[in-house]
Amino acid sequence: MREFGTTVFAEMTAMAVRTGSINLGQGFPDEDGPAAMLARAVEAIHGGFNQYPPGPGVSELRQAVADHQKLRYGLAYDPDGEILVTVGATEAITAAVLALCEPGSEVIVFEPYYDSYPAAIAMAGAVRRAVPLRVDGGRFAFDPAELAAAVTPRTRAILVNSPHNPTGTVFTPAEMAAIAALCREHDLIAITDEVYEHLTFDGVPHVPLATLPGMRERTVAVSSAGKTFSVTGWKTGWICAPAELISAVQTVKQFLTFTSAAPFQLAVAYALRHELEWVGALRETLQGKRDRLMAGLAAAGFEVLRPAGTYFVQTDIRPLGFADGLDLARRLPELAGVVAIPTQVFYDEPETGRHYVRFAFCKKDSVIDEAISRLARLG
């Protein structure tokens, strides 16, 4: 694990604290989730719901996830055997990679990737094969031929994150179809990271890969309450997959954490049933924040890419006369009192992402406005 060191988020967040900068680096919301959901967690604690829950998760939550998948996507999962509650999406993904890959297996990831993916693959002794997303037509996209060329006889799985962090890309139906076709052709498992499933903009729908022909039986679908309900500190996630795959993942999960925090499971079960309207309002609010930050970044001189989902906006820094995003991110606190995340650190081949920097917009309007007025100094 030596190559992993501390994450760029730790470095940039520490720098924000040290310099008193506005932190548009790490993507956590600065406003709470739905009050009734928070109250449910408190009630659960006061109600004595504080001992080990069952390994697969509390049945109320497994049932709520099953109903959510059925109602929203038409996907039927048996809450007893096809759903596993995890310690956030992070544990779900790591446990899935550990369970389903052998040492030497190859796992395809799109780069820039979420920073836990390479670590999970390394822990499994597997090998990552990164397929780059490049800016094409105003969004980050992959070349289907390059994706197909990444498959080898050792490829076991592909990790698919849509809506995609850190680019904000939502894969198009054609892109999803290309991924699905490859999975079917080469008998690959798809591990889908859908933590931003509810946070898409401009009416762009989230279409789970498992809904495509031949995909439900080979997809390990991962999601989590953190982003949907603005409780990133709750670390409550889940997996939906065929029983055989769930059973393998649960075998690993039982020795990583055995089970996940009990009171939050009840609260999230409640939220999945009763707070999706709140989530709809969050989506609207976030779209407004996206537009607010995009306008400010454009006025400051960045070239701004419009994200179709997530909390993040990517900017090309070259119009401002900068060439290297990591260099700019390290100087930004001193230049403007703002912290952002360099995109290149999420590429195996940093050159592809060298001139992009990511800003988070899941922040109060007053915070975004202050950041914008500070960034205006850059020009």
Contact residues toward ligand PLP (CB under 6 A) are: 88-90, 114, 161, 165, 193, 195, 224, 226-227, 232, 235, 237
**Residue 215 Cβ, how far from ligand PLP at the closest point, in Å?**
20
> How buried is residue 143: exposed, middle or buried, by Cβ count under 10 Å (0-12/13-18/19+)?
middle
| Amino acid, res. 265 | Q
CA distance 159 to 201: 23
Residue 117 Cβ vs ligand PLP, minimum distance, rounded to whole Å:
8
Q: How far is the CB of 27 from ligand PLP (least distance, A)?
A: 6
Distance CA 164, CA 150 (A): 19
- Closest CB 168 distance from ligand PLP, rounded Å: 11
Q: Tokens in use for 282? A: 């969050």
CB of 226 to ligand PLP, least distance (A): 4
Nearer to ligand PLP, 198 or 374 (CB): 198
Q: SS3 of 135, please?
A: strand
Nearer to ligand PLP, 161 or 336 (CB): 161
Question: Which value, to the nearest 10 degrees, does the dihedral of the CA atoms of residues 29, 32, 33, 37 take?
Answer: 150
Q: What amino acid occupies position 32?
A: D
Which is nearest to 106 in space by CA: 149, 44, 63? 149
Cα separation of 65 and 262, whole Å?
Answer: 16
- If the CB atoms of residues 53 and 163 are measured against ligand PLP, the closer one turns out to be 163
Residue nearer to ligand PLP on the CB measure, 232 or 315: 232
Q: How far is the CB of 332 from ligand PLP (least distance, A)?
A: 22
β-bridge partners, 83:
240
* CA dist 151 → 145, 156, 188 (Å): 10, 9, 9
Nearer to ligand PLP, 131 or 195 (CB): 195
> Under a CB-based contact definition with an 8 Å cutoff, are residues 106 and 99 in contact?
no
Task: Closer to ligand PLP by CB, 190 or 336: give it.
Answer: 190
Nearest to 61 by CA among 299, 204, 272, 276: 272
Query: Among residues 90 and 259, whose Cβ is nearest to ligand PLP?
Result: 90
**How many Cβ atoms sit within 10 Å of the Cβ of residue 306?**
14
Shortest distance in whole angstroms from residue 258 CB to ligand PLP: 17
Place of tokens 């956030």: 88
Q: Among residues 28 and 49, whose Cβ is nearest to ligand PLP?
A: 28
CB-closest chain residue to ligand PLP:
88
- Write down how long the chain is: 379
Structure tokens given for 239: 């997996």
Q: Nearest distance from residue 28's CB to ligand PLP, in Å?
A: 8
